[in-house]
Homo-oligomer: A and B are copies of this chain.
């Protein structure tokens, strides 16, 4: 077993799924307080996403609101709208697309939506109840199920950027969804790595990660009946956290209502722990799930990757595809385990 004592020297670790090396630079041995604190002031700026400002956004696609309420009125608790500046659009004509014998391109067909997580521009995700968080996750499931009916769409990526430093352009709590006409490269790497492991070991590699992590109980930072959160062995970022369902399932949209509820509780617990250790850090949250047009897979396992934004992605990372992590996942786990869930 490796990685279970504090590192005195730098170590290279390989992600077991995609084979990406990471440099765990424990000589730098950064404690949580060693990272630049980014105090995100709760804005008092005008927010186009607030209740009452519905006319400022494109008409809603879906909302959680009382039965008696009408669309785009102001008594909602959760709202899905098209992104006003979409990266991809659904009404592209693809028939006469020019061909080139060397450079490959295709029309930017897709959908780009925003999930406004709360009508209150001051609230952070951690301020919301587990039930409100459940609604958000339920809406992710609902939108994936709706979008996958369009067979041109091969993948639905869902993510959240919290804090300016993590790339949020508006501070009002929201997540985003981008449906794409191809399976993104990083997702394909996970699928390929997981398939190759399955062929060899006849088991899902994520199930195996869960089994080992629970057994060794060093990098586990949260556990409930249905979910486990770990600091992954080859974490790219300090305090990078993966939340995995114990039940094998490739597609997030196949989750039951009960799983959605339990996931909300797990996310709330982990965000609370990260907030306590790192003082409301900026972070990125990404749902990793299987391509929407494919049937259930034995080899892939949906999960969430939660990445506090404490280090930079700069020349080295762009050129190498590797990351330097100044806090080992074992050290990070030690801090996170001390905080009650």
- List A residues at the B interface (Cβ < 8 Å): 1-3, 9-14, 16, 19-21, 23-25, 27-28, 85-89, 92, 98-100, 102-108, 110, 157, 159-161, 166-168, 176, 178, 180-182, 184-187, 189, 208, 212, 233-234, 284-288, 305, 307, 312-316, 318-322, 324
Chain B residue nearest in CB terms to A20: B185
Q: Are A307 and B316 in contact (CB under 8 A)?
A: no
Q: Are A105 and B14 in contact (CB under 8 A)?
A: yes
Q: How far is the CA of A322 from the CA of B181 in the complex (A)?
A: 13
Q: Are B1 and A100 in contact (CB under 8 A)?
A: yes
User: A176 — which chain B residues lie within 8 A by C-beta?
Assistant: 315-316
Q: Are A11 and B108 in contact (CB under 8 A)?
A: yes
User: A21 — which chain B residues lie within 8 A by C-beta?
Assistant: 182, 184-185
Q: Which 9 A-B pairs have the closest CB atoms?
A: A167-B314, A10-B108, A159-B315, A186-B321, A184-B320, A286-B319, A167-B312, A284-B315, A185-B321
User: A19 — which chain B residues lie within 8 A by C-beta?
Assistant: 185
Q: How far is the CA of A315 from the CA of B304 in the complex (A)?
A: 11
A105 and B320 in contact, given A23-B88, A314-B161 (Cβ under 8 angstroms)? no
User: A182 — which chain B residues lie within 8 A by C-beta?
Assistant: 12, 21
Q: How far is the CA of A212 from the CA of B103 in the complex (A)?
A: 10
User: A212 — which chain B residues lie within 8 A by C-beta?
Assistant: 102
Chain B residue nearest in CB terms to A234: B103
Q: How far is the CA of A320 from the CA of B190 in the complex (A)?
A: 10
Q: Are B305 and A286 in contact (CB under 8 A)?
A: no
Q: Are B12 and A316 in contact (CB under 8 A)?
A: no
User: A284 — which chain B residues lie within 8 A by C-beta?
Assistant: 314-315, 318
Q: Are A319 and B159 in contact (CB under 8 A)?
A: yes
Q: Are B105 and A167 in contact (CB under 8 A)?
A: no
A105 and B319 in contact, given A27-B85, A89-B9 (Cβ under 8 angstroms)? no
User: A322 — which chain B residues lie within 8 A by C-beta?
Assistant: 180, 184-186
Q: Are B318 and A181 in contact (CB under 8 A)?
A: no
